[in-house]
Amino acid sequence: MRLEAKGLVLGGRLAGVDCTLESGAITAICGPNGAGKSSLLEALAGLLSLDGGTVELDGESIATLPPRERAMRLGYLPQEHEIAWDVPVRRLVELGRMPHGDRLAGPVDEALDALDITGLADRRAQSLSGGETVRVLLARVLAGKPRWILADEPLAALDIAHQLELLRHLRAEADRGTGVILVLHDLAHAMNHADRVIVLHEGRIAADGPPQEALSPERVAQCWRVAVKWIGEAGARALVAA
């Protein structure tokens, strides 16, 4: 399965972005503030009206896909983790099944278990902490069994234990063939857990490739304007000031 961006242009945010994303892998989108990361993710999810360019899902234009079909194939978690309805957590997660027209218990139970929130199932959604809210909203995405998971800063409100747990789960999803695309600010997580990193800078792709190449000290200095070095072994690297 393939998700392809062709010449994406969005005034002030994207300036001709081209990339082809393959399923079965974790792709991290990184870059300094204002680089266009969230805009690219929203465009890939078919949620933006672009000034130019197209997004294709397995050769079909996302713009022509019926909303229900698009929702079944693409699961999107926005950066703003807000819950509008104070319903029980289980009911909120069941909403991920809406595109399928069912409320199957199996996928819902799997999603609750995967995010370690089964114990929250009867809690009111608006009573949750920030970290719990993120996990519940991601469980809603997972319950829909999408072919692609697109998540904007899913680790931001989580403690380190739940960050690593979530990354392990997303790795398992990718190993099952799901395409996983994450906007990440934590470059160490991108280095250690992504198969591919796309670095955006001023609305353009500055690097695209394996993490060790895309996030080289030279590239970080160029885009983030800070001198750094990587320490540690592959898979457990940390970024420190040079």
Q: What's the pLDDT tens digit per position in 33-55? A: 999 999 999 999 999 999 999 99
User: Residue 82: what pLDDT?
Assistant: 80
For residue 236, what are its two tokens?
């457990």
Residue 178, judged by CB atoms within 10 A of its CB (0-12, 13-18, 19+), counts as buried
User: Residue 107: what pLDDT?
Assistant: 94
Residue 65's CB is within 10 A of a number of other CB atoms, namely 17
Q: Is 2-80+146-241 assigned to CATH 3.40.50.300?
A: yes
User: Residue 84: what pLDDT?
Assistant: 83
| Angstrom distance (rounded) from CA 239 to CA 200 | 19
The predicted-structure confidence for 126-172, as pLDDT tens digits, reads as follows 999 988 999 999 999 999 999 999 999 999 888 899 899 899 989 99
Ranges in the chain, pLDDT < 70: none
User: Residue 127: what pLDDT?
Assistant: 94
User: Residue 225: what pLDDT?
Assistant: 96
User: Residue 221: what pLDDT?
Assistant: 97
The predicted-structure confidence for 158-170, as pLDDT tens digits, reads as follows 889 989 989 998 9
Element (H, E) at 212: helix 211-214
Task: Confirm if 27 and 209 have CB atoms less than 8 A apart.
Answer: no
User: Nearest CA to 197 among 185, 213, 174?
Assistant: 213
What are the residue boundaries of the structural domains of the chain, listed by start? Answer: 2-80+146-241
* pTM, full prediction: 0.94
